Structure 1
Amino acid sequence: MRWNLKSKPQKEKVQALQNALQVDEIVATLLVQRGIETFEQAKQFFRPTLEDLYDPYLMMDMDKAVNRIELAITNNERILVFGDYDVDGTTAVSLVSSYLKTITPNIATYIPDRYAEGYGVSYKGIDFADDNGFSLIIALDCGIKSIDHVKYAKEKGIDFIICDHHRPGEFLPDAVAILDPKREDCSYPYDELCGCGVGFKLIQALGKNRNQTIENLVPYLDLVATAIAADIVPITGENRVLAKFGLEVINSNPRAGIKALIQNVKKKELTITDVVFTVAPRINAAGRIHHGDYAVRLLTEFNLEQAEEVAKEIEQFNSDRKDLDKQITKEALLQIQENQEEKSFSTVVYNENWHKGVIGIVASRLVENYYRPTIVFTKSGDKLSASARSVKDFDIYNALEACSEHLEQFGGHMYAAGMTLLEENYQNFKQAFEEVVQQTLHPDLQTPEIEFDAEIQLTDINPKLVRILKQFEPYGPQNMTPLFLVKDLTDSGYAKTLGSEGEHLKAYVKQNDSDSFGAIGFGLGNKIDIVKNFSKFDAIVSIEENEWRDVVTLQLQLRDIKSLND
């Protein structure tokens, strides 16, 4: 890994904030790095409130969306809440549908089948609405590029409200309302909401219309926090407020479905990271292995016993997903080796038998292995379907746009995307994508990077610092867990490997005459020789509390280590 110091903030700004807040230089540095430079900004960062949320009517078309929904309620129209099959989509559908059901019974949900219909708004879904007398579809976490689908629905007398957060194309669908903070003509102050976040702004506007306060909507924030965690959106601004209060709901009074998923987690308090690794994969597994409807059933169930039954089924889906993921990753790595593509600039692999539900996870695994922009294809009907994952700072969406002549359709973000193409175009696309990546991937981006916030001494680490760092939570993109460089460490002589294959490293480290700290390095077991025999080494670490048998101690998590001889 390349070790790089994050942009060093101006000393004057750090000093001014340090004086204003009466905190250590380390804390002031971390805050300025996050764009927090004044007492007021720091107060809002450390003490966010629900009042910090923006007026939903600042979003383009919000008034149109609310008016159309109110008209539908008044006229007893049937409303279909439609959403993608991933965590963001299913939480958004669960949120909007469960809110609307408190006003009108004429609500149903629709999650497209990942295999039969694919991503986004589908003709099959519109036909379902037509056959069952729905005159309004609210599309969540999808729809911004569904020009033909919306036109098709309009011909059948069905209106569309689109709530999306993906980048719009050159033209917008002819919908009644399009809520998307990434619209160029939308001046909403925060444009990093996830799909469920946009859905929350919609119910916030509907609630405002009914003289409800934000407090009335707090029970829905467990869904929003789950979506924010899973969709890896920046945890800044409005997302940070929604995530913080959503986590409080998850930890104090979650809905039955989430409670059923987390009741076996042996932690007093879940963090965003816990949600990413425990709740999100299970919700995702429903759409990956069986059908996203299971996730909506779970998240809209009020009876805990019923929720536990659905959670059991989803747990099995997740177990099946893990097995598939492991097997397909092994086959993909073998394909790369057999084709002698280890030194390519990109990874593009294809097998018609690979399970469509896990190719995104496999793409992420391949990025971990070769660290380069990666696309995994499988057969889907008469076309090939793929998931793409990128490396830090490389925009894979732009790369796909440059190869779009070979694609049927594509969409996504800077770091993750999906696409379809005709099988006869696969080789031409693969070659074109490799050429684009080769021309645009900066050499520095071909090696994994670990950025640290500051250099510290072990003597700087104390309970007070940890208490303040806990107030930086929830962590996530653009507010990552602070990482520190600590130099000239030695192990106290007790270093060992842990895990069935010795994959983790456990040590007790000192710096000169400092007290020793317990340190754990997940995945660093192969570097034990660096710390043996009292050899000096440098480390990038995060600081955490380790709870063992009701005793809490400070612990370093080793993110990477390097011998001083390197």
Structure 2
Amino acid sequence: MLASNYDWQELTNNQADVLALAKATQLSTPITALLWERNLRSEAAIEQFLQPTETVVHDPFLLSDMEKTLEIIEEALAEDKKIMIYGDYDADGVTSTAVLYEALQIIGAEPSCFIPNRFVEGYGPNKAAFKKIKEDGYDLLITVDNGIAGIEEMAYAREIGLQVICTDHHEVGAQLPDADAIVHPKHPAFNYPFKELAGVGVAFKVAHALLGEIPVELLDLFALGTIGDMVSLTDENRFLVKAGLERLAVTERPGLQALYRQLNLDTSTVTSDMVGFKIAPHLNAAGRLGSAEKALALLITRDVNEAKQLASDLVAINNERKAIVNELVLAADEQVQPFLADKVLIVAGKDWHEGVLGIVASRLVEAYQRPVIVLSLNEEKQWAKGSGRSIPGLNLYDALNDSTTLLTRFGGHAGAAGLTLPIDNVAALRTAVNTYAAPLLAETSTKLPLMIDLNLTIPEASLALLDEVKRLEPFGTDNPKPLVKFTNVRLASIRQIGADNAHLKATFKDDEATIEAIGFNIGALKNTLNMSDDIDVVGELSLNEWRNQQMVQLQIKDIAVTNNQLFDLRGEAEWSKFCKTVTPFNQPDAFVVFNHPAFVSEWADKVNVLNLAVDELPSERINSLVIVDLPTDAEQLEALLAVTQPQNIYARLENPNPQGLVVLPSREEFGDFFKFIAQFQPVDVKRQHQAICQKLNISKNKLFFMTTVFFELEFVKIEKDCLTINEQAPKHQLAESASYKKREAIEALQQRFIYSNYTALYNVFWSES
């Protein structure tokens, strides 16, 4: 069996209501069921979702302090005050800055922009930065995508004579900052209809209010920042992102055009996936490794040559970021291995790049399905600083809050956190956090949840269905790309592809219907799947175009096998391939040896060897067994299987006997040899064995074996190494010979284990045990 990597969760619906709604909307039953599960349960709601209009966009003046904000900005324009926009270094912060910068320019202002450096000012408001801004002659400070939590810093800005407008979307604390105006969708004194605006969404609303209409020319920036910040793609966000994606496809921004060319993007249709996985990472990368100024410049430049250089620089920075992440993931993965028994994994490395630790933590969470904290150690300053990512079963903020005595500072929420602590406290933090987490994760699955939207048969996964799925775009938070599940399908083909065989290419079949599938970074699963397995597979449907042909393809997210699995390793090539996959951290539970001392001496320090020549049978279940050699007898194997009840068996079944496989002579061969003795007696077998073997066309092994059987049954006499017929021999069956019985039993074992086909061998291990 192969367990799923995720905790599969399947939705249910009222089938009668779904069928009625499908008829009313003229949508397919699967798509209607999906919309029903997403709480779209009327014709009107579905129509508004599929065809959102400008009517869903809320009045910007419903936001907190919007009137006051406009008054302050208009006064600044009238009095020729210098305006500084204070942003953030991620994609949301950069696009927020660009939106407000261009909106202010449209109304005649000449604002400047400041984006803090992650490694100098850090996140959010900064007193030193504010002091420098004031010294440079600025009068009005407008924060975008930050400020709501900077209580001391914002008060300081007011103290030194700056007017302050705070625009933000992050969680509002018990105390609001001292600002002249606060624009926030969750302001406790106001009731804005939609709470899930990104920072760029709040800046866009300010632009809307300033310009008196929806700023269509800024929709591309709205889409970039909203998708990049992974906020809810519902309500007005859905309409504005949808319109923004259309705008991105025809953008006139030289910077984006240059970036498209650098990335070889086909922008005839820009999707949320393209933004989330291609474009936004390049905007984020600059702020992760240093200053985000190049990302901002790319968005607002009007110079084609500058745009080309900026795009090239951002691609290079992102490539560097990816290389650093890959390097740190490998380094962190090595550190994880000694702590695999922990509920929360904490790893730390000297001078690991702080800008990517959150990404590394997320990668490890995916790999190990448990909370992870990744720390960078600064030995000069003697502190450890890093990021953590969690799973639904553990509130990471609460876990760290329980260990405040060990920490210098920390912050975050249930799923993610940042922290700083003395190096000497790292080991103590590992103990404390695991002590806190152990009871919370003991009763719940530590697997990440995977919400399955649709159960399909392969014939249902049609191009027509895929066209309906596309109508649900843009996909993102609260409107994820649908995950479909195929149950009890078989493999028609499977192979590894890509560098280092990292990816999986497969074709699944259901009777005569097939669907091609691709699985990224799961190439190793090939070694855990058989063509005869009953497979459940979950993934996303996509369109694959090849040589002017279109077909539906499944992008694999997770796989489970419901049956016991047999891996046939009886060939030298198969065994050699398998041995190459065995590592200290990737191997079956036990290697069973019946009578193969050479294997024991070679492998005992590499794997868990159960040597039944000297060891007793285990007393508990063992999930996966490698049966290295032929059992001494079938009863011994049956006893092993009865106790261990394995779900996975890797069958090498090597014959360690130096004489090779045993072949029992036929009755005709026994008869021919007896006639030969009778004709040419006395027969000197030892001296004449070559001639006898040639005459009878038998092997030396068979010759001496038949001699032994004849002697045991008293069919012959042996005098001075010569055979003669015993004329007074009693009547016996060949099977009455002890040697014949022993070899017959060995041959039966060989027929059962060595010569049997896959199905017969499978039945030996499970149907017969």
Aligned residue number for residue 8 of structure 2: 4
Aligned residue number for residue 308 of structure 1: 308
Q: Mapping of 1:86-165 within 5 angstroms?
A: 86-165=90-169
Judged with a 3 Å threshold, the aligned counterparts in structure 2 of structure 1 residues 60 and 564 are, in CA distance, closer, same or farther, namely: same
Q: Mapping of 1:285-434 within 5 angstroms?
A: 285-337=285-337, 340-378=338-376, 384-392=384-392, 394-404=394-404, 406-421=406-421, 426=426, 429-434=429-434
Q: CA deviation at 1:244?
A: 1.2
Q: CA deviation at 1:317?
A: 1.4
Q: Mapping of 1:138-537 within 5 angstroms?
A: 138-208=142-212, 213-214=213-214, 217-253=215-251, 255-263=253-261, 264-267=263-266, 268-337=268-337, 340-378=338-376, 384-392=384-392, 394-404=394-404, 406-421=406-421, 426=426, 429-441=429-441, 443-492=443-492, 494-514=493-513, 516-529=514-527, 532-537=530-535
For the 8 Å contact 1:392–1:445, the answer to whether it is kept is: no
For the 8 Å contact 1:257–1:311, the answer to whether it is kept is: yes
Q: Match of 1:172, as an amino acid?
A: L
For the 8 Å contact 1:530–1:537, the answer to whether it is kept is: no
Judged with a 3 Å threshold, the aligned counterparts in structure 2 of structure 1 residues 336 and 456 are, in CA distance, closer, same or farther, namely: closer
Question: Partners in 1 of 2:400 and 2:191 — Cα distance?
Answer: 28
Structure 1 length-normalised TM = 0.92
Q: CA deviation at 1:140?
A: 1.3
Listed one character per residue, the Cα deviations across residues 155-200 of structure 1 (whole Å, up to 9, x for unaligned) are 1111221111211222111111222223333311111221111111
- Residue 227 of structure 1 aligns to a residue whose secondary structure is helix
Q: Match of 2:302, as an amino acid?
A: F
Is 1:77 matched with 2:81? yes
Listed one character per residue, the Cα deviations across residues 181-225 of structure 1 (whole Å, up to 9, x for unaligned) are 2333331111122111111111112122xxxx22xx122122221
- Residue 296 of structure 1 aligns to a residue whose secondary structure is helix
Q: Match of 1:149, as an amino acid?
A: E
Judged with a 3 Å threshold, the aligned counterparts in structure 2 of structure 1 residues 300 and 414 are, in CA distance, closer, same or farther, namely: farther
Question: Partners in 1 of 2:232 and 2:241 — Cα distance?
Answer: 11
For the 8 Å contact 1:336–1:342, the answer to whether it is kept is: yes
Question: Partners in 2 of 1:462 and 1:334 — Cα distance?
Answer: 43
Judged with a 3 Å threshold, the aligned counterparts in structure 2 of structure 1 residues 394 and 31 are, in CA distance, closer, same or farther, namely: farther
Listed one character per residue, the Cα deviations across residues 451-501 of structure 1 (whole Å, up to 9, x for unaligned) are 211211122222221111101111112211111221232233x32221122
Q: CA deviation at 1:352?
A: 4.6
Q: Mapping of 1:549-560 within 5 angstroms?
A: 549-560=547-558
Question: Partners in 2 of 1:369 and 1:464 — Cα distance?
Answer: 35
Q: Which has the larger radius of gyration?
A: 2
Judged with a 3 Å threshold, the aligned counterparts in structure 2 of structure 1 residues 379 and 131 are, in CA distance, closer, same or farther, namely: farther
Question: Partners in 2 of 1:50 and 1:122 — Cα distance?
Answer: 38
Q: CA deviation at 1:560?
A: 2.0
- Residue 464 of structure 1 aligns to a residue whose secondary structure is helix
- Residue 120 of structure 2 aligns to a residue whose secondary structure is coil
For the 8 Å contact 2:393–2:444, the answer to whether it is kept is: no
- Residue 444 of structure 1 aligns to a residue whose secondary structure is coil
Q: CA deviation at 1:422?
A: 5.3
For the 8 Å contact 2:298–2:311, the answer to whether it is kept is: yes
- Higher relative contact order, chain-length normalized (CA < 8 Å, sep 6+): 1
Structure 2 length-normalised TM = 0.68
Q: Match of 1:86, as an amino acid?
A: D
Judged with a 3 Å threshold, the aligned counterparts in structure 2 of structure 1 residues 168 and 439 are, in CA distance, closer, same or farther, namely: farther
- Residue 539 of structure 1 aligns to a residue whose secondary structure is strand
| Range with bigger deviation, 402-411 or 473-482 | 402-411
For the 8 Å contact 1:502–1:525, the answer to whether it is kept is: yes
Judged with a 3 Å threshold, the aligned counterparts in structure 2 of structure 1 residues 219 and 417 are, in CA distance, closer, same or farther, namely: farther
Aligned residue number for residue 619 of structure 2: none
Q: Match of 1:17, as an amino acid?
A: L
For the 8 Å contact 1:407–1:421, the answer to whether it is kept is: yes
Judged with a 3 Å threshold, the aligned counterparts in structure 2 of structure 1 residues 191 and 123 are, in CA distance, closer, same or farther, namely: same
Question: Partners in 2 of 1:393 and 1:160 — Cα distance?
Answer: 40
Identity of aligned residues (%): 33
Question: How large is the Cα RMSD of the aligned pairs?
Answer: 2.4
Aligned length: 556
- Residue 501 of structure 1 aligns to a residue whose secondary structure is helix
Judged with a 3 Å threshold, the aligned counterparts in structure 2 of structure 1 residues 91 and 30 are, in CA distance, closer, same or farther, namely: same
For the 8 Å contact 1:375–1:389, the answer to whether it is kept is: yes
Question: Partners in 1 of 2:407 and 2:134 — Cα distance?
Answer: 30
Q: CA deviation at 1:153?
A: 0.7
Judged with a 3 Å threshold, the aligned counterparts in structure 2 of structure 1 residues 173 and 436 are, in CA distance, closer, same or farther, namely: farther
- Residue 533 of structure 1 aligns to a residue whose secondary structure is coil
For the 8 Å contact 2:9–2:449, the answer to whether it is kept is: no
For the 8 Å contact 1:167–1:183, the answer to whether it is kept is: no
Where structure 2 has 5 or more consecutive residues not aligned to the other structure, the ranges are 565-769
| Range with bigger deviation, 504-513 or 415-424 | 415-424
| Range with bigger deviation, 187-196 or 367-376 | 367-376
Question: Partners in 2 of 1:378 and 1:2 — Cα distance?
Answer: 29
Aligned residue number for residue 738 of structure 2: none
Which residue of 24, 28, 38 maps to 2:28? 24
Q: Match of 1:478, as an amino acid?
A: D
For the 8 Å contact 1:225–1:242, the answer to whether it is kept is: yes
Q: Match of 1:231, as an amino acid?
A: D
For the 8 Å contact 2:246–2:269, the answer to whether it is kept is: no
Judged with a 3 Å threshold, the aligned counterparts in structure 2 of structure 1 residues 420 and 530 are, in CA distance, closer, same or farther, namely: closer
Question: Partners in 1 of 2:120 and 2:512 — Cα distance?
Answer: 64
Question: Partners in 1 of 2:246 and 2:442 — Cα distance?
Answer: 41
Q: Match of 1:356, as an amino acid?
A: E
For the 8 Å contact 1:374–1:389, the answer to whether it is kept is: yes
For the 8 Å contact 1:530–1:563, the answer to whether it is kept is: no
Q: CA deviation at 1:433?
A: 3.3
Q: Match of 1:278, as an amino acid?
A: K
- Residue 164 of structure 2 aligns to a residue whose secondary structure is strand
For the 8 Å contact 2:77–2:109, the answer to whether it is kept is: no
Question: Partners in 2 of 1:225 and 1:311 — Cα distance?
Answer: 19
Q: CA deviation at 1:259?
A: 1.9
Q: Match of 1:509, as an amino acid?
A: F
Is 1:55 matched with 2:59? yes
Judged with a 3 Å threshold, the aligned counterparts in structure 2 of structure 1 residues 275 and 488 are, in CA distance, closer, same or farther, namely: same
Question: Partners in 2 of 1:245 and 1:443 — Cα distance?
Answer: 45
For the 8 Å contact 2:103–2:211, the answer to whether it is kept is: no
Where structure 1 has 5 or more consecutive residues not aligned to the other structure, the ranges are none
Question: Partners in 1 of 2:73 and 2:114 — Cα distance?
Answer: 17
Listed one character per residue, the Cα deviations across residues 95-150 of structure 1 (whole Å, up to 9, x for unaligned) are 11122122234310001111111111111220121111111111111111101101
- Residue 480 of structure 2 aligns to a residue whose secondary structure is coil
For the 8 Å contact 2:11–2:452, the answer to whether it is kept is: no
For the 8 Å contact 1:5–1:454, the answer to whether it is kept is: no
Q: CA deviation at 1:30?
A: 0.3
Judged with a 3 Å threshold, the aligned counterparts in structure 2 of structure 1 residues 84 and 486 are, in CA distance, closer, same or farther, namely: same
Listed one character per residue, the Cα deviations across residues 229-275 of structure 1 (whole Å, up to 9, x for unaligned) are 22222222222222211111111225222222222334342321121
Is 1:38 matched with 2:36? no
For the 8 Å contact 1:544–1:554, the answer to whether it is kept is: yes
Judged with a 3 Å threshold, the aligned counterparts in structure 2 of structure 1 residues 218 and 430 are, in CA distance, closer, same or farther, namely: farther
Judged with a 3 Å threshold, the aligned counterparts in structure 2 of structure 1 residues 412 and 3 are, in CA distance, closer, same or farther, namely: closer
Q: CA deviation at 1:361?
A: 1.5
- Residue 95 of structure 1 aligns to a residue whose secondary structure is helix
Q: Match of 1:342, as an amino acid?
A: L
